[in-house]
């Protein structure tokens, strides 16, 4: 049984989450061997997705029996999703309230989680009974916003255009969407001190870390 099963939009997200977990639980040796990619499936040999990934397929997976089986066969399952497409049809979560005022990141994250829980329970009730095993990693508005403070310090938190900013600020790593690149970009997270420093500058990353369980 895997200690952590990862449900993400793509393999680049999976490796970032894996490095974050290894940094957060620095006292656990070889934790990476106890982390399994669930959605999208991952080929360890080629370091590529074994199937397609996207937020749309992630939603489909969450309402499928495969997700339920994966939860039952994992100690914990982490569900990661970016929020940049949250207003699109089939997701329909706005970052603003009825007066068109920007929601706080904390409230927005909760609304995204509510949407994902609704997807999990769309065919039959499951979440409430197993919620202690399900952890949400909601990256506002993209996972690159978690990576950006590793390469550039800002006075105010950046949550838009993070991919473009990361491309510009990452001087030694050419930023492209593949597993090996994102492994290099997020490798500083395996140092707990750096991870906690960045999380203090990014609310959605800090929310994720605050939800991680104490492991025996």
| Burial label, 85 (beta-carbon count in 10 A; 0-12, 13-18, 19+) | middle
- CA–CA separation, 40 and 38 (whole Å): 6
Question: 87-107, pLDDT tens digit by residue?
Answer: 999 999 999 999 999 999 999
If DSSP codes are grouped into helix, strand and coil, which group holds residue 81?
strand
- Partners of residue 183 on adjacent β-strands: none
- CA–CA separation, 21 and 3 (whole Å): 11
Helices first, then strands: H and E counts in the chain: 10, 6
Percent of the chain with pLDDT over 70: 94
- pLDDT given for residue 46 in this prediction: 52
Pairing of strands 42-43, 48-49: antiparallel
Q: Which of 39-43, 147-151, 198-202 has the lowest mean pLDDT?
A: 39-43
Q: Which long-range contacts (CB under 8 A, 24 or more apart) does 125-134 make?
A: 126/68, 126/71, 130/71, 130/72, 133/71, 133/74, 133/75, 133/76, 133/77, 134/71, 134/76, 134/77, 134/79
- In this predicted structure, the answer to whether residue 32 has a pLDDT above a threshold of 90 is yes
- In this predicted structure, the answer to whether residue 48 has a pLDDT above a threshold of 90 is no
- pLDDT given for residue 50 in this prediction: 45
Q: What are phi and psi of 104, to 5 degrees?
A: -65, 155
Closest by CA to 166, choosing from 11, 6, 16, is: 16
- pLDDT given for residue 41 in this prediction: 85
Contact assessment for residue 204 and residue 145, using Cβ atoms and an 8 Å cutoff: yes
Structure pTM? Answer: 0.95
Compute the chain's Rg from CA coordinates.
17
Mean pLDDT value across the chain? 94
| Rounded (5°) CA angle 113-115-121 | 105
């Amino acid at each position: 049984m895997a200690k952590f099963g990862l449900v993400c939009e793509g393999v680049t997200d999976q490796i970032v989450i894996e490095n974050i977990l290894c940094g957060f639980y620095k006292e656990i040796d070889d934790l990476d061997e106890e982390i399994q990619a669930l959605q999208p499936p991952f080929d360890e040999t080629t370091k590529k997705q074994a199937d397609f990934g996207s937020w749309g397929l992630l939603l489909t997976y969450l309402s499928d029996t495969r997700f339920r089986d994966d939860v039952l066969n994992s100690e914990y399952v982490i569900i990661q999703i970016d929020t940049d497409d949250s207003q699109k049809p089939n997701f329909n979560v706005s970052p603003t309230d009825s007066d068109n005022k920007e929601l706080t990141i904390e409230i927005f994250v909760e609304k995204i989680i509510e949407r994902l829980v609704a997807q999990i329970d769309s065919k039959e009730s499951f979440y409430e009974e197993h919620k202690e095993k399900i952890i949400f990693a909601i990256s506002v508005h993209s996972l690159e916003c978690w990576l950006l403070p590793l390469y550039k310090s800002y006075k105010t938190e950046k949550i838009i255009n993070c991919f473009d900013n990361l491309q510009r600020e990452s001087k030694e790593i050419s930023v492209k969407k593949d597993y090996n690149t994102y492994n290099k970009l997020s490798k500083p997270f395996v140092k707990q001190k750096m991870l906690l420093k960045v999380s203090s500058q990014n609310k959605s990353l800090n929310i994720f870390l605050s939800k991680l369980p104490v492991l025996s």
